[in-house]
Structure 1
Amino acid sequence: MDLASLLKPAAVRVVGHATSKKRLFQDLAELASAVYGIDPSETVNALQERESLGPTGVGHGVALPHARLDGLDRVIGIFMRLEKPLDFDAVDRQPVDLVFALFAPKDSGVEHLKALALVSRTMRDPAICAKLRSNVDPATLHAVLTEARSNQAA
């Protein structure tokens, strides 16, 4: 599994301003619907339900919201770079500007966990995060994300 198999180029976006975590979840759901054809209201509900278990803001300006959804046949991803950081109740209480959301089939089991671990390792790399923060072109952001782990694995 690699990030290129999880993240389509069209699933990468730069967002000027998200006014709240709920609005961000709606933006993620709308993009997931447009790119992958999944139901936006189910997506928002699933993200909010998962977030109620504990915040997915992992620190250093990174959030990894994730949810399991009916109708998916594989794990998929959405990446958003926020131009204005958003309060996300992160573990380090810092606002979030890099958001990598994952959506997995309801019965995905270990594949969901492997994808989450891969994204988490990638987003913990300070050099990758610096490159993501210094670019606003979605194609460049996609390249940074998808080349990051494959280069390290080589």
Structure 2
Amino acid sequence: MQLSTLLKPEAVRVFGKMSSKKRLFQELGEIAAGAYGLSASEAVEALQDRESLGPTGVGHGVALPHARLAGLEHVRAAFVRLEKPIDFDAVDRQPVDLVLALFAPLNSGVDHLKALALVSRTLRDATVCEKLRANTDPATLHAVLTEAQASSQAA
């Protein structure tokens, strides 16, 4: 599984200020609708439903919200870099500025878990996070994310 197949360049965005986690989920829904043709409202509802089970802020300013959706054939991703971090109820209580959301088919079982493990590994790399935080160009952010995985697999 490759991050480059999960994350389209047009599904990468930078926002200066976000008022709340709910607003962030609305933006992620809009990104998923535009990049992958998903229903924005269904994506938002699925993210909120999953988040109600427990926060997806994994620490060090990173969140990995994820949801399963009907009508989706493959796992897809959206990435948002926030210039001003927001409270996300993360495990370390730190605000979040790097958000990689996953949208998976309802019956995706192993693929969903593999995708979560992949993005988790990628965003646990402090060097990758530094590069993401140092850039505001969506194309550069996409390249950092997809090249990080390619270089770690080559090692």
TM (norm. structure 1) is 0.99
1:144 is aligned to 144
Match of 2:29 in 1: 29
The structural deviation recorded for 1:152 is 1.2
Q: What corresponds to 1:105 in structure 2?
A: 105
Identity %: 71
Aligned to 1:77: 77
Matches within 5 A, 1:88-127: 88-127=88-127
Aligned with 1:22: secondary structure? helix
**Can you give the 5+ residue segments of structure 1 that lack an aligned partner in the other structure?**
none
Moved over 2 A (4+): none
Aligned equivalents of 2:62, 2:18: Cα separation in 1:
15
- The alignment status of 1:132 with 2:129, answered yes or no, reads no
- CA distance in structure 1 between the aligned counterparts of 2:31 and 2:16, rounded to whole angstroms: 15
Q: 3-state SS of the aligned residue for 2:28?
A: helix
Q: d(CA) in 2 for partners of 1:39 and 1:33?
A: 6
- TM-score normalised to structure 2 length: 0.98
Q: Mind listing any 5+ residue stretches in structure 2 that lack a counterpart?
A: none
Match of 1:51 in 2: 51
CA-based RMSD:
0.4
CA distance in structure 2 between the partners assigned to 1:11 and 1:31 by the alignment = 6
Q: How many aligned positions are there?
A: 154
Supply the distance in 1 between the matched residues of 2:150 and 2:40 (Cα, whole angstroms): 31
How far apart are 1:16 and its partner, in Å?
1.1
Instruction: Give a deviation string over 1:90-113, Cα, whole Å, max 9, x none.
Output: 000000000000000000010000
Match of 1:8, as an amino acid?
Answer: K
Q: Which amino acid aligns with 2:64?
A: L
Aligned to 2:6: 6
Structure 2: distance between partners of 1:37 and 1:153: 30
